[in-house]
Structure 1
Amino acid sequence: MFKGGFAIWVFIGAAWSSVPEPVLPLNEAVQTAIRANLRVQGAALEVDEAGDSVEALKTRRYPRLELDAAINRNLTTQSYTFPEGSLVPDSEIGPIPPENVEITSEEGTTKIVSFSARQPLTKLYTIALEICEGYVTTEMAVQKVRWTQQDVAYLVKLQYFEVGRILGDLQAIDESILFLSSLSDLVRNYVDQQVALEYELLDVRARLAQRQLERQRMVDEMITAKERLNALMGRDVETPFNVEHLPLPHQVVYDTDESLLLAFDQRADFIESQLAIEKAEYSYDVKKSEYIPDVDIHFSYIKLYNVNLIPDAEAFVALDFRWEFFDWGRKRDELASRASKIAGAEVKMGEVRNQIEIEVRDSLRKLRTSQESVGVARELQAAYREKLRVMINRYREQTTLLTNVLETETQLERANRDYNKAVLSVWGALAEYEKAVGEV
């Protein structure tokens, strides 16, 4: 694994820059990105959002308190007439009222204040299910944060290795530039001695200029790679840093079955797929609870001001019962839809499980192949280095052509890059394996 697996020294002299820069260890780069990466921060906000939704759901378990107040301005005069004997047609004292009585309202304003409290009873079961569903949603958001962190950590490692690859290629091209500079001086002496031709000197100088131009291109590529790594870490893109040299890691072999068990236990996307099934089941239960009638306790108090004709206050406690006893099959169809979501979540978990198995096995195969490629690249590097030594000695002795020397130098420069790439491919395969098993 990466933990503790890096040497602390950097390339001496920082081949691509004359200004020393602070060394950024890989573990520090990963931890910085996990904390400050913008994608991670965005995923963390979803956790807060889900948690706030759960807290809001909890308040629905308590009584609903409402206060209404109004001031009415009477724009028309209202008149009420009680005909003679309308209350008591005949009594010992005669009809009541004894004659027609007309009552009119007074102009002005009427003030009304109303207070009510409604406590759900049977609905508490549905609310409890919704709260449980909210907890599952929150945990899914947490797993999304973990998955984002794992993905960002993987991208940081790859970008870190990309910087290391460019740095290694710069070291190889600097070695080539140094060799071609020395060879240019040697050929220049041969041209002065009329042992070599002018076009041969021009060929060496052209190759030297080409290497120097390529070096500048690599320096620009290095700057861009560092800016991308800074962006992944949530830092200013121009923050200076240098990377550690990546030595050849020890050869490791991981058991496939143990790796799969570790992946199923740690992969955030697999855990999230399991939680998706649980959420779908709670959603089904919430919809099913709609068959239960709603029973609430309701208290209400109303107070009227500037009213003399009728009682100015009213208070009551009621037990409210509401039941939609026939819905034309709507709840049945909605339940069927929720059941389909459960089945879909189970299918999705199966897909994720198969994908994890493929990724783990593929990462193990890549790790094995990359480890084997290092030995081949090392042997080729050593062979071409020795061949170049022989060729330059022969050229000094005038027993071989300059083209043979230049061809061998090109082969060595390519072999140096291939060895650097092979070493970094092992680290890349390790990073892919760690992502496959759910490690940061």
Structure 2
Amino acid sequence: MFECALAILLAGGGAWSYASEPVLTLEDAVDLAVTANLRVQAAALEVNEVWDDVEALKTKRYPRLEMRAGIIDNLTRQRYTFDRGVWVQNSPIGPIPPEEIEITSESGVTKSFLVSATQPITQLYTIELEICEGYVVTEMAEEKVRLVQQDVGYLTKVQYFEIGRILGDLQAVDEAIIFLTSLSELVGNYVAQQVALEYELLDVRARLAQRKLERQRLTDEMATAKERLNALMDRDVETPFNIQSLPNPYHLTFDVETSLGLAFEQRPDLAESELSIEKAEYSYDIKKSEYIPDVDLSIEYLKLYDVRLIPDAEAFIALEMRWEFFDWGRKRDELSSRANKIIESEKKSEEVRNRIEIEVRQSLRRLRTTQESVGVARQLQTAYREKVRVMTNRYREQSALLTDVLEAEKQLFHANSDYNRAVLSVWGALAEYERSVGEV
């Protein structure tokens, strides 16, 4: 029994997956998260919202059609007096009117109906600028979706690797439990044979209890980690799954200049910052267009009902101009503000570019360091595994103390966990590099 447990402990490096649950690959997890995640869906809805605003702006290019109808209650009577001969003083039939005439309006209700069509003319230039600005805002919203997708994809990878870290720790704990259980039986036999002392058996059992408690803690931690990953993929948090075993990604090397070129081409935050400059320029042109007078072409038809004193219908076409020729310097100050906005956007874009370059270089350095750490962790794992084998054999031969075996087992336990974390740190560094160059 003890020899079998020792073989399991010394073998080490087993696969993560030992539960009968559906295996969720890293690629499937990321693909599902970047499409189904609630943050991604909300960002996509914002694109639709901005696009609807652009479609609404396009309607401003067409005539504005209006209809008004009303009922007017005449509270007072209108009175008009025309003197004798006021229209024609001398005519073959005499003065017109031949005598003084008084005309009064009727009291009661007057109904009116007005229909009009107004076509903007000079404002079309401003409207086109606003539409172009709307297209830029739409592109910015689309870049925001890509940014959210990259963020969600990165968080999904990190959470996936966190589950892998817990699985590796569980594997190390399980191996330690098997070894300590067998060691407890061996020490118990030695105590019965009066070869070992009682406190040594109690020490082994206490360490075994600690490992079992650690396993329960890791099991709870695993449940929480899986719930978080399910939430990122917008699935029921209780959906069962297991993850695939991730090997050590050896010899990952990337060229700095090539990586920077990819980042400057693919990073959505850089694209969004550059679009913000274009948006600020359109905003400046829109404000500048306010110096142009507003010219409208309008057609109106008015119909009055229950009216006898004046004509009851009229129709006309008009060309109207409105121009605020003096604004006390308001437009000038607003233009200055928009010009400063352009400069501000250019500075922010430059800042984003510098930040991206730092992130790319930092991710490459971390990727190199983590790959080197895997070799160190592997060497320590091999050394402590051999130490456990030697100390165990010497203890069976009564040439080593139990404390030496327990110390060697503790060192191997941490070495197994450290090696698993070192491998995952390479995957984490790779995910960080992919995010730095703008890949999901």
TM-score norm. by structure 2 comes to 0.95
Name the structure 2 match of 1:79. Answer: 79
Shift of 1:288: 0.8
| Cα distance change on mapping 1:12 and 1:425 into 2, 3 Å | closer
* Counterpart Cα distance in 1 of 2:208 and 2:371: 34
- Tell me, yes or no, if the aligned pair for 1:295 and 1:321 is still in contact at 8 Å: yes
Q: What stretches of structure 1 of length at least 5 have no aligned partner?
A: 1-8, 15-19
Cα shift readout 1:364-386 (whole Å, capped 9, x = no counterpart): 00000000000000000000000
* Counterpart Cα distance in 1 of 2:202 and 2:382: 29
Equivalent residue letter for 2:435 = K
How many residue pairs match? The answer is 427
* Counterpart Cα distance in 2 of 1:80 and 1:254: 95
Name the structure 1 match of 2:222. Answer: 222
Shift of 1:322: 1.5
Name the structure 2 match of 1:202. Answer: 202
Q: How does 1:304-323 map to 2 (within 5 A)?
A: 304-323=304-323
Name the structure 2 match of 1:17. Answer: none
Q: How does 1:59-78 map to 2 (within 5 A)?
A: 59-78=59-78
* Counterpart Cα distance in 2 of 1:80 and 1:320: 32
Classify the secondary structure of the residue corresponding to 2:69.
strand
Shift of 1:321: 1.4
- Tell me, yes or no, if the aligned pair for 2:250 and 2:371 is still in contact at 8 Å: no
Cα shift readout 1:197-252 (whole Å, capped 9, x = no counterpart): 11111111011001000100000000000011111111111111100011111211
* Counterpart Cα distance in 2 of 1:213 and 1:379: 29
- Tell me, yes or no, if the aligned pair for 1:363 and 1:436 is still in contact at 8 Å: yes
Q: How does 1:414-433 map to 2 (within 5 A)?
A: 414-433=414-433
Name the structure 2 match of 1:260. Answer: 260
- Tell me, yes or no, if the aligned pair for 2:17 and 2:245 is still in contact at 8 Å: no
**Are residue 13 (structure 1) and residue 18 (structure 2) matched?**
yes
Name the structure 2 match of 1:120. Answer: 120
Equivalent residue letter for 2:179 = F
More displaced stretch, 103-112 vs 127-136 = 103-112
More displaced stretch, 68-77 vs 349-358 = 68-77
* Counterpart Cα distance in 1 of 2:153 and 2:192: 58
Q: What stretches of structure 2 of length at least 5 have no aligned partner?
A: 1-13
Shift of 1:104: 2.0
Cα shift readout 1:247-271 (whole Å, capped 9, x = no counterpart): 1112111000000000000000001
- Tell me, yes or no, if the aligned pair for 2:118 and 2:298 is still in contact at 8 Å: yes
Shift of 1:73: 2.6
- Tell me, yes or no, if the aligned pair for 2:17 and 2:243 is still in contact at 8 Å: no
Name the structure 2 match of 1:29. Answer: 29
Cα shift readout 1:275-313 (whole Å, capped 9, x = no counterpart): 000111111111111111111111111111111111111
Classify the secondary structure of the residue corresponding to 1:66.
strand
Equivalent residue letter for 2:362 = D
Name the structure 2 match of 1:330. Answer: 330
- Tell me, yes or no, if the aligned pair for 1:40 and 1:145 is still in contact at 8 Å: yes
Name the structure 2 match of 1:107. Answer: 107
Name the structure 2 match of 1:3. Answer: none
Equivalent residue letter for 1:415 = A
Name the structure 1 match of 2:362. Answer: 362
* Counterpart Cα distance in 1 of 2:327 and 2:75: 44
Q: How does 1:390-405 map to 2 (within 5 A)?
A: 390-405=390-405
**Are residue 270 (structure 1) and residue 270 (structure 2) matched?**
yes
Cα shift readout 1:75-115 (whole Å, capped 9, x = no counterpart): 33332222334334555544433333222222332111111
Percent identity at matched positions?
Answer: 71
Equivalent residue letter for 1:284 = Y
More displaced stretch, 421-430 vs 306-315 = 306-315
- Tell me, yes or no, if the aligned pair for 1:181 and 1:208 is still in contact at 8 Å: yes
The ranges of structure 1 where at least 4 consecutive aligned residues each deviate by more than 6 angstroms after the TM superposition are none
**Are residue 129 (structure 1) and residue 90 (structure 2) matched?**
no
**Are residue 233 (structure 1) and residue 233 (structure 2) matched?**
yes
- Tell me, yes or no, if the aligned pair for 2:17 and 2:242 is still in contact at 8 Å: no
Cα shift readout 1:392-420 (whole Å, capped 9, x = no counterpart): 11111111111111111110000001000
| Cα distance change on mapping 1:344 and 1:432 into 2, 3 Å | same
Name the structure 2 match of 1:42. Answer: 42
Equivalent residue letter for 1:56 = A
* Counterpart Cα distance in 2 of 1:71 and 1:12: 81
**Are residue 182 (structure 1) and residue 187 (structure 2) matched?**
no
Name the structure 2 match of 1:151. Answer: 151
* Counterpart Cα distance in 2 of 1:221 and 1:50: 41
* Counterpart Cα distance in 2 of 1:362 and 1:237: 34
* Counterpart Cα distance in 2 of 1:122 and 1:56: 19
Name the structure 1 match of 2:10. Answer: none
Cα shift readout 1:44-85 (whole Å, capped 9, x = no counterpart): 111001100100000000001111111223333332222334
Classify the secondary structure of the residue corresponding to 2:225.
helix
- Tell me, yes or no, if the aligned pair for 1:121 and 1:297 is still in contact at 8 Å: yes
* Counterpart Cα distance in 1 of 2:267 and 2:121: 41
**Are residue 249 (structure 1) and residue 254 (structure 2) matched?**
no
- Tell me, yes or no, if the aligned pair for 1:10 and 1:243 is still in contact at 8 Å: no
More displaced stretch, 118-127 vs 135-144 = 118-127
* Counterpart Cα distance in 2 of 1:127 and 1:218: 61
* Counterpart Cα distance in 2 of 1:409 and 1:65: 86
Shift of 1:327: 1.2
* Counterpart Cα distance in 2 of 1:71 and 1:97: 34
Cα shift readout 1:2-29 (whole Å, capped 9, x = no counterpart): xxxxxxx963533xxxxx1100011000
Name the structure 2 match of 1:5. Answer: none
- Tell me, yes or no, if the aligned pair for 1:10 and 1:23 is still in contact at 8 Å: no
Aligned-pair Cα RMSD in Å: 1.3
Name the structure 1 match of 2:372. Answer: 372
- Tell me, yes or no, if the aligned pair for 2:33 and 2:156 is still in contact at 8 Å: yes
* Counterpart Cα distance in 2 of 1:147 and 1:99: 87
Name the structure 2 match of 1:54. Answer: 54
Name the structure 2 match of 1:162. Answer: 162
More displaced stretch, 204-213 vs 300-309 = 300-309
Shift of 1:148: 0.5
| Cα distance change on mapping 1:404 and 1:427 into 2, 3 Å | same
Name the structure 2 match of 1:172. Answer: 172
* Counterpart Cα distance in 2 of 1:76 and 1:315: 28
* Counterpart Cα distance in 1 of 2:380 and 2:346: 51
* Counterpart Cα distance in 1 of 2:200 and 2:417: 26
